[in-house]
Amino acid sequence: MSDGRPSLPRENGARRLSGRRLRLLRSKRAVTGLAILACVVIAALFAPWLAPHDPLQQHLLERRQPPSRQYPLGLDELGRDNLSRIICGARLSLRVGVIAVVLALAAGGLLGSAAGYRGRWLDSLIMSLVDVLQAFPTLLLAIAMIVVLGRGLTNVLYALAITMIPTYARLMRIGVLAAKERDYVLAARAIGVSPGRLLRRHILPACLIPLQVQATLGVGTAILEAAGLSFLGLGAQPPTPEWGAMLGQGRGAIFAAPHIVLFPGLAIMFTVLGFNLLGDGLRDT
Amino acid sequence: MALLLPTLLGLSLLTFALLRFIPGDPVQVMLGEHASAEQIARFRASRGLDQPLLVQYLRYVESLMRGDWGRAIVTNLPVTTELVQRLPATIELGLAALFIACVVGIPVGVLAAHRRNSFVDLLASGGALIGVSMPLFWLGLLFGHFFGYRLGWLPPSGRLTIGIGLEPLTRFYVLDSVLTGNLRALVDALRHLTLPALTLSTVPLAVIIRMTRACLLDVLAQDYVRTARAKGLPEQAVLLRHALRNAWLPILTVIGLQLGSLFSGAILTETIFSWPGVGQLIVDRVLSRDYPAVQGVVLITALIVVLTNLATDLCCACLDPRIRYE
């Protein structure tokens, strides 16, 4: 009985997705975003081979040197090569952004689907928890979490994941609530599909698109916030080549050598812009 | 209103937990490394920290209600005193940033929607996209560097030039200088406010432009707008009286929701421009492990956000009778 039918919607789903992919590739925004992100991902993956110098090696005699042929983006206040540090920083920023979103998505998705599917007291309980978490400005909540967890990039990652849970929980709950009443879900339930399978096979696929958009935008936000926390000295600690930390350590030298502050900021902006363009493109398709 | 109570309960639980879950013994942290076992025991008993957790929590809530938010370790001042001194600076900065964002963002959004796909639209949408992608602290550093130090147009740090006398009535310096009729202080306070407020306004500005444009495009596609145009109303009247009025609600909601991101941004902005508000306070005190002060800032900010969201909802209900009936 269940042989032929489940394959039909799946085929449909697959065809719709490929149509969506095509439309995505026609969107100028999405393609620009993808191109930017491709550069960042390549830099992150091949950082050790792409970086022209050791990101930690100090050339103290040449510190604060402006961009030159040998050091295209100049040297920082301790004489370390800016370009190499920025290339290696791509790895850290992407890792923090992606893992924080994946964790938040997993926890938020679980909470949201439980709230939406079970309803009643569980729904009220989870949603009041989400309301409380959402009452805190994200950066403030992240700082409060870091007070508990301690400084460092890994703890920043966990703190940011916690601050992002409410968004995904809400989106998931709304998606599940809407999908729950659809005819095909009612039909599946009527023929006795188990709740777990119902959620996995029939309800969750319908909630994925808004989550996908939010997750893409979320990685950009997480990268911005992680950089902000490192800038404040709460995230990556020296000498780690993290973009926000580079800005924080270089800010004292801005008057003598603006290039130390200029380039890490540009790197953050372009990466986040890439995620925002791709997220916008995904939303429009 | 009924939703407010569980949220307040959750807030107090979370801030209570904050001090209990810090690594190591909180009392040891508060008294410093050299405190003796006897001192620690005495401190524990005097603050009721040897009681069961539930009792401790109830005492905590009770003292919060009484206005006793603990003492800051660094200054040994009551946390509430520090908050009263610092909060006006943050609120003044936030309001100024929100003012800039609304005054610039709404007209630009309207213009972008009106001339859809034109150069103006491209510029506004592109600018908004870059605005939400830009690290605020980086923009602040560049602003401070170029307009503050290089060009010397505006002061890059502080709230008021030293030596300018201003009687702190409300601690909102702009308001104080107006109330006391002190023109020199007013100009000085506004000059100090400009760079931080501009920096802080980028994210809400971008969000307001995008929201205004999107809402107006939605409304402009409605039948009654076509009717208004068909009966020959001037375009300005169609836009402002028919379209914008119906797009107000989501725009207002999104403005209310900016408050959280304003506070987040204020933490970074205040650090860069040495703005003596609660954002700078929390960063300083996290680094010096002054937990009661951190707890105070977290609690007051969350309270303000919750109350503002409530106020926004009420405003929306006032503006739109449909919401009241739901």
Instruction: Render pLDDT for A129-159 as a digit per residue (tens, 0 to 9).
Output: 888 888 888 898 899 888 888 888 999 999 9
| Residue B172 contacts A, CB cutoff 8 Å | no
Best mutation site among B141, B262, B304 for testing chain A: the one with the most A CBs within 10 Å? Answer: B141
| Residue A244 contacts B, CB cutoff 8 Å | yes
Report whether pLDDT(A162) > 50: yes
Identify the structural domains of chain B with CATH numbers, from first to last. Answer: 4-65 (no CATH), 82-319 (1.10.3720.10)
Residues of A in contact with B135 (CB under 8 A): 224, 227-228, 231, 244, 247, 265, 268-269, 272
CA–CA gap between residue A234 and residue B271 (Å, rounded): 13
Residue A64: predicted pLDDT: 82
Residue B3: predicted pLDDT: 64
CB-CB under 8 Å, B271 with A232: yes
Give the one of B6, B137, B302 whose C-beta lies nearest to A136's C-beta.
B302
What pLDDT band is residue A10 in, cutting at 50, 70 and 90? very low
Q: Could you give the angle at the alpha carbon of B149 between the alpha carbons of B147 and B155, nearest 5°? A: 70
CB-CB under 8 Å, A224 with B137: no
Query: If we measure between CA atoms, which residue out of A254, A234, A252, A253 comes closest to residue A244?
Result: A234
What pLDDT band is residue A11 in, cutting at 50, 70 and 90? very low
Residues of B in contact with A144 (CB under 8 A): 18, 294, 298
Tokens of B326: 């739901």
| Residue A79 contacts B, CB cutoff 8 Å | no
Query: Nearest C-alpha of chain A: how many angstroms from B177?
Result: 30
| Residue B119 contacts A, CB cutoff 8 Å | no
Instruction: Render pLDDT for A37-53 as a digit per residue (tens, 0 to 9).
Output: 999 999 999 988 988 88
Report whether pLDDT(A8) > 70: no
Chain B 295-314, residues with CB within 8 Å of chain A CB atoms: 297-298, 301-302, 305-306, 309
CA–CA gap between residue A52 and residue A85 (Å, rounded): 10
CB-CB under 8 Å, A224 with B135: yes
| Residue A204 contacts B, CB cutoff 8 Å | no
Average pLDDT, chain A: 86
- The 3-state secondary structure of chain A reads CCCHHHHHHHHHHHHHHHHHHHHHHHCHHHHHHHHHHHHHHHHHHCHHHHCCCCCCCCCHHHCCCCCCCCCCCCECCCCCEHHHHHHHHHHHHHHHHHHHHHHHHHHHHHHHHHHHHHCHHHHHHHHHHHHHHHHCCHHHHHHHHHHHHCCCHHHHHHHHHHHHHHHHHHHHHHHHHHHHCCHHHHHHHHCCCCHHHHHHHHHHHHHHHHHHHHHHHHHHHHHHHHHHHHHCCCCCCCCCCCHHHHHHHHHHHCCCCCHHHHHHHHHHHHHHHHHHHHHHHHHHC
Provide the 8-state DSSP code for B77: S
Residues of B in contact with A251 (CB under 8 A): 141, 272
What pLDDT band is residue A6 in, cutting at 50, 70 and 90? very low
Residues of A in contact with B203 (CB under 8 A): none
Judge whether B36 and B313 are in contact, CB under 8 Å: no
Residues of A in contact with B18 (CB under 8 A): 144, 147-148
Report whether pLDDT(A243) > 80: yes
CB-CB under 8 Å, B136 with A228: yes
Q: Which residues of chain B have pLDDT under 50?
A: none
Query: Nearest C-alpha of chain B: how many angstroms from A150?
Result: 8
CB-CB under 8 Å, A147 with B7: no
Query: Nearest C-alpha of chain A: how many angstroms from B12?
Result: 10
Query: Nearest C-alpha of chain A: how many angstroms from B133?
Result: 5
CB-CB under 8 Å, B142 with A139: no
Give the one of A141, A269, A277 whose C-beta lies nearest to B134's C-beta.
A269
CA–CA gap between residue B275 and residue B95 (Å, rounded): 14
| Residue A131 contacts B, CB cutoff 8 Å | yes
Give the one of B10, B23, B264 whose C-beta lies nearest to A132's C-beta.
B10
- Greater model confidence, B112 or A206: B112
Instruction: Render pLDDT for A253-281 as a digit per residue (tens, 0 to 9).
Output: 888 888 889 999 999 999 999 999 999 88
* Model ipTM value: 0.86
Best mutation site among B21, B22, B129, B133 for testing chain A: the one with the most A CBs within 10 Å? Answer: B133
Residue A16: predicted pLDDT: 55
Report whether pLDDT(A3) > 50: no
